[in-house]
Amino acid sequence: MDFLGRVNIFTEVAKCQSFSGAAKALGITSSAVSKQVQNLEYELQVKLFNRTTRKVSLTEEGDLFYKRARSALESLSEAREELNDLHSTPKGSLRVSLPLSLGLQYLKAPIAAFARDYPDVHMDVYFEDRKVNVAEEEVDIAFRIGVLKDTSLIAKKIVSIPIELFTSPLYLKDKPLIKTPDDLKEHNVFEYTRSPEAHSWKYIDDMGVEGAVALKSSFSCDNVEMMKEAALAGIGVFIAPRIFVKQELAQGQLVRVLEKYHTIPERNLYALFPPNQYISRRTRMFIDYIQQYCLDNLRPF
């Protein structure tokens, strides 16, 4: 076996932290794995692993070599994939993470359509509201609504997502009027528990004046759909992307509060990618597919 083949076996052992696990992943015997790692250690004149009956771990030299070797192998794999992309239809796996409500309400249709149009792409789709570690969890694309803060990731803005305040006519029927942001202090404004910030609302008015108001709540949850349901029941006010209440606004079940004020900073839908990674043709085509759908269907109304 050549040097590159032994390096590939070594990186698999380091990844699995097991000779038997690497052997299973590679489809060869454990003894063959062990022999090739020993040959690599002899060639490099260093000990790469600490071995016990229970555990396999990298030495200091092994850890250094693993980081460089893994990066080199990934670059070679990406170069090969890039060449294949030039002359082939999209194929391969695509692991995608999306916010739960946005995915189920709006993006399941274009995802299904993309899968229909490109049957050689294996779609692996996750609807979840938690903050996904794109690099560590080997996610190809993560869609997220918010303010872009993590500059270590590659990001593409898909569409603007206005965040506004809503409630039901039922709630307003016997409650104090809401004419200014300070009036919110007298109201039950639902708390979104996944927000890392204190329960408050930052805004800018039509004259460009910015402000912030601390809020109070007797209803907290981690899902926009639940907050909308609570608002429909007349419980209080909630802050959410306008796209999630389009139907309820049209039917008069919900109304917008403080229309002359706008949430800041601006929120957008972003597609996030791991850093320093070749973006495959199937990934680029999927992003274009989703963006065109969003521009046609999620523009502010």
**Same domain, yes or no, for 275 and 258?**
no
**What CATH number does residue 197 fall under?**
3.40.190.290
Query: At residue 247, does pLDDT exceed 80?
Result: yes
**CATH code, 75:** 1.10.10.10
Q: Long-range contact list for 279-282, CB < 8 A, 24+ apart? A: 279/154, 280/81, 280/82, 280/85, 280/90, 280/92, 280/140, 281/85, 281/90, 282/85, 282/90, 282/91, 282/92, 282/94, 282/118, 282/121
Q: Do 167 and 257 fall into the same domain?
A: yes
Same domain, yes or no: 63 and 189: no
pTM for this predicted structure: 0.67
Q: Which residue has the tokens 């080199």?
A: 72
Are both 104 and 16 inside the same structural domain? no
Are 7 and 129 in a shared domain?
Answer: no
| Amino acid 239: pLDDT | 96
For the residues 253-276, what does the mean pLDDT come to? 91
pLDDT at 190 over 70: yes
Q: Identify whether residues 277 and 246 lie together within a single domain.
A: no
Read off the pLDDT band of 232 (50, 70, 90): very high
d(CA 214, CA 9): 56
Nearest to 144 by CA among 154, 131, 133: 131
**Does 145 have pLDDT greater than 80?**
yes
pLDDT, tens only, 274-294:
876 668 888 888 999 999 999
**Residues 173 and 54 placed together within one structural domain of the fold:** no
- Is the sign of the CA dihedral 93, 98, 101, 107 positive or negative? negative
Question: Which pLDDT band holds residue 149 (cuts at 50, 70, 90)?
Answer: confident
pLDDT score of 299 more than 70 = no
Nearest CA among 206, 207, 208, 203 for reference residue 182: 203
Answer yes or no: do 80 and 151 share one domain.
no
Domain enclosing residue 142, as ranges: 92-161+267-297
pLDDT tens-digit readout, 41-99: 999 999 999 988 778 899 999 899 988 888 888 777 767 766 666 656 778 899 999 99
Of 59, 86, 113, the residue that ends a domain is: 86
Identify whether residues 224 and 171 lie together within a single domain.
Answer: yes
Per-residue confidence (pLDDT) for residue 89, from 0 to 100:
75
| Residue that finishes a domain, picked among 35, 52, 86 | 86
Percent of the chain at pLDDT > 90 equals 55
What pLDDT was estimated at residue 73?
A: 82
Q: How many domains does the chain have?
A: 3
CATH of the domain at 129: 3.40.190.10
Q: Which of 86, 114, 137 is the last residue of a domain?
A: 86
Q: Same domain, yes or no, for 48 and 117?
A: no
Average pLDDT over residues 200-219: 94
Q: Are residues 109 and 82 located together in one domain of the fold? A: no
Do 136 and 101 reside in the same domain of the chain?
yes
User: What pLDDT is recorded for position 276?
Assistant: 67
Q: So what's the pLDDT on residue 250?
A: 93
pLDDT number for residue 84: 64
User: What band does 256 get if pLDDT is binned at 50, 70 and 90?
Assistant: very high
Q: What is the mean pLDDT of residues 20-36?
A: 90
**pLDDT value at position 221?**
93
